Amino acid sequence: MSSTFFGAIADDFTGATDLAAMLARAGVPVTLRIGVPDRTAPATAFEVIALKIRTNPVEDAVAEARAALAWLRAKGAQRLFWKYCSTFDSTARGNIGPVAEALMSDLRLDRTVHCPAFPENGRRVFMGNLFVGDQPLSESPMKDHPLTPMRDSNLMRLLQPQVQRQTGLVAFPTVRAGSQAVRDAVAGLHGHIVLDAVEDTDLAVLAEACHEMPLICGGSAIAQPLPALWQAAGTLADTAQDPLPAPRAGRLVLAGSCSAMTRAQVGAYLRQAVGYRLDPLELAQGNGSDARKWLAAQDPNADKIIYATAEPKTVAAAQEKLGVARAGALVEDALAQLARDAVAQGIGQIVVAGGETSGAVTRALDVDQLRIGREIAPGVPWCFAGDGVAIALKSGNFGDEDFFAEAFAMLDTGGSVAAE
């Protein structure tokens, strides 16, 4: 008999671990799948499927998301979640809207809600406009993202060119009026409904109002209150998690993200670690073996980082010469090979920065399933593969400047790695 209650589809790997961390924080065991599992794979109560479709062609992204949905429904999932980034990384030709519409069609729904807000990480939605910290999205560092530059802060305007259904808003005053007011407002709208939220208390109201909906779309933060609501309603039985394995020794950071926060994190970590910078222009000349030789010469247990992280002007210059797709692929392929080398050399603790990089690394390591451990920072947990490798998949903008050192220190303490 199928055992899945909740099933999520994430548009990248760091987003999947972000959502899994929120669910684990709520006290439920979570299985994170890398790609759509085989149809014969046994299912668990909370399943999160990590895809790598954020910047794929729309048709490909929709097809993969539908395949994931079919697997989850075959396993009995009663509540579905379409997980995308809390900074709504999607241009006018992006995939957030088309995937949401495809899932709605397959589920025969005439409405769904969108809630990317993550107040704990500074992502807030007010009157339909997304803020990063105290800046509108279009004025934040996300405006210069190399793949999904965000030039508008209004979520309805961002969604509308992507979808056929109408867009609507449950605005802040309604949210503050309580869950019944939100429920009534949602019932009066159709299509894609954006939800305002500026504090965690707003997310609690929204979760109370929407926890019975078959499909929720958005960031991970709204998911944290859901398990308790389902348990209180009697629709979800109590669940328990088996002990997680002890982490292996050996450490490495692989950074492909060029976000403002990752740039700061790389700079901070280089004050204590040895580092090697990957240059896509040099990789294009066939110089990838230099980084592999450098890694082979390092002490597996020493602090070390290999990074392609660079300032926006440097990234733009490489993209102009190589093209955006080729520049990104060169870096991802190099970091994926270095991850394989690291594990072969006995390194068992790997931190990966960047959604695209995380996808490339996990696939290179043939990881198809991860168990979720403690959070290093909000939305970024340690994860554990079947071979005992501990891996942290970090969205570029998440964590503080000392994230890399803090991640390894958490494993060094010898304390529990189970989610708290």
Taken in order of first residue, the domains within the chain and their CATH numbers are 6-233 (3.40.50.10840), 251-412 (3.40.980.20)
Residue 356 predicted with pLDDT over 80: yes
Lookup: tokens for 57: 């062609």
What is the reported pLDDT for 79? 97
Q: With contact defined as beta carbons under 8 Å apart, do 39 and 71 qualify?
A: yes
Look over the chain and give the mean of its residue pLDDT values, rounded to a whole number: 91
The phi and psi torsions of 326 (rounded to 5 degrees) equal: -70, -40
Confidence bin at 379 (pLDDT 50/70/90): confident
The phi and psi torsions of 44 (rounded to 5 degrees) equal: -120, 175
Please indicate whether residue 373 or residue 212 has the higher confidence score (pLDDT). 212
Residue 250 predicted with pLDDT over 80: yes
Helix axes 200-210, 226-233, angle to 10 degrees: 40
Q: With contact defined as beta carbons under 8 Å apart, do 373 and 382 qualify?
A: yes
Q: What is the DSSP string of 191-219?
A: EEEEE-BSSHHHHHHHHHHHTTSSEEEE-
**pLDDT tens digits, residue range 317-331?**
999 999 988 999 999
d(CA 177, CA 194): 16
Please indicate whether residue 387 or residue 347 has the higher confidence score (pLDDT). 347
Confidence bin at 415 (pLDDT 50/70/90): very low
Residue 76 predicted with pLDDT over 90: yes
Residues 6+ apart with CB under 8 A from 62: 95, 98, 99, 102
The phi and psi torsions of 5 (rounded to 5 degrees) equal: -105, -45
3-state class (DSSP) for residue 154: strand
Q: Which of 83, 72, 153 is nearest to 112 (CA)?
A: 83
Confidence bin at 1 (pLDDT 50/70/90): very low
Q: Which of 365, 367, 366 is nearest to 338 (CA)?
A: 365
Residue 239 predicted with pLDDT over 70: no
Side chain identity at residue 218, one-letter code? G
Burial of 388 (0-12, 13-18, 19+ CB in 10 A): exposed
What is the reported pLDDT for 241? 64
Residues 6+ apart with CB under 8 A from 65: 9, 51, 53, 82, 99, 102, 103
The phi and psi torsions of 83 (rounded to 5 degrees) equal: -100, 120
3-state class (DSSP) for residue 270: coil
**pLDDT tens digits, residue range 86-138?**
888 877 778 999 999 999 999 999 999 999 999 998 999 999 999 999 999 88
What is the reported pLDDT for 413? 59
The phi and psi torsions of 252 (rounded to 5 degrees) equal: -160, 140
Lookup: tokens for 165: 């259904």
pTM of the model: 0.80
Q: C-alpha angle with apex 291: 288 to 297, nearest 5 degrees?
A: 145
Mean pLDDT value across residues 167-191: 98
What is the reported pLDDT for 26? 85
Q: With contact defined as beta carbons under 8 Å apart, do 118 and 220 qualify?
A: yes
d(CA 95, CA 114): 14
Q: What is the DSSP string of 117-138?
A: -BGGGTEEEETTEEEETTEEGG
Lookup: tokens for 377: 């920072």
Q: What percent of the chain has pLDDT over 90?
A: 70
Q: With contact defined as beta carbons under 8 Å apart, do 135 and 51 qualify?
A: no
Residue 343 predicted with pLDDT over 60: yes
Number of H helices, E strands in the chain: 15, 18
The length of the chain, given as a count of residues: 420
**pLDDT tens digits, residue range 61-72?**
999 999 999 999
In order of 20, 133, 166, 253, the CA distances from 400 in angstroms are 20, 13, 38, 15
- What does the H/E/C string look like for 30-61? CEEEECCCCCCCCCCCEEEEECCCCCCCHHHH
Mean pLDDT value across residues 264-280: 97
Torsion of the alpha carbons at 357, 265, 372 and 89, rounded to the nearest 10: -50
Please indicate whether residue 363 or residue 67 has the higher confidence score (pLDDT). 67
Least-confidence region, from 64-78, 231-245, 289-303: 231-245
Please indicate whether residue 237 or residue 106 has the higher confidence score (pLDDT). 106
